[in-house]
Amino acid sequence: MDQIQKCVCIFAMGFVITACGGNIDSNQTEQDTTTTTSQALLPDNHLLVPGKSAGLFLLGDADSAVFHELGKPDFGDAAMGKAVSIWFPEDEPGQPLSIFTSRDMGNDETARIQQIRVTSPRFQTVQSIGVGSSLRDISDAYPLQIVETYEQDGQTYTIYNANEGIAFEVDTTYSCIAVIIHSAGAAIPTYLPLQPPLSSQPR
């Protein structure tokens, strides 16, 4: 009788382990499916990929690719082989797009994209982080460090950077007002600011 009970117990334990294992696999599959689905819902032309791209624009691409897509910029500034170009989309006039480019003087005369700044909430990461996100939500998704503060129109803004290749401009209410895509591990230069001057903005 003891032998029979022992066999029954072993069988029961095996059943429980198998069932639990099945639940774990099922839960993992469900999580993977959820992540894949959330990524699929983001259109490529508004997906932010740290260290790589903002929508259709890729770091390292020639500036001609941007001009072909957006036309002549509404504002520009240049110095020493480096340039900032800014566009104010007609459907989103208060949400400019800024592109910072530079040339490798003497080696590559092509102006290539080094940074992309977006202010439209349509642009988001796969974690749904973008303009309008709170600093708390951003810090939950990325390890951040303060790299710069600046003032514009009497308001103070702070730039938080993540080494993955993404930075966030945050206002005094701790809300994101712009996202910058840059090369992973690269410092953000300040000699040509990506923020458009007030005089260049449409009224």
Summarize pLDDT for 24-46 with one digit per residue, the tens.
344 444 444 434 434 444 557 89
For residue 73, what are the contacts with CB-CB under 8 A and spacing of at least 6?
A: 67, 85, 86, 87, 99
Chain mean pLDDT for the chain:
80
pLDDT of residue 31: 42
pLDDT of residue 58: 96
Rg (CA), the chain: 24
Q: Which of the two residues, 80 and 25, has the higher pLDDT score?
A: 80
pLDDT band at 192 (very low <50, low <70, confident <90, very high): low
Euclidean distance between CA atoms 176 and 158, whole angstroms: 9
What's the whole-model pTM score? 0.75
What's the rounded mean pLDDT across residues 161-168? 96
Q: For tokens 């007002």, name the residue.
A: 177
Helix (H) / strand (E) element for 149: namely strand 145-152
pLDDT of residue 201: 55
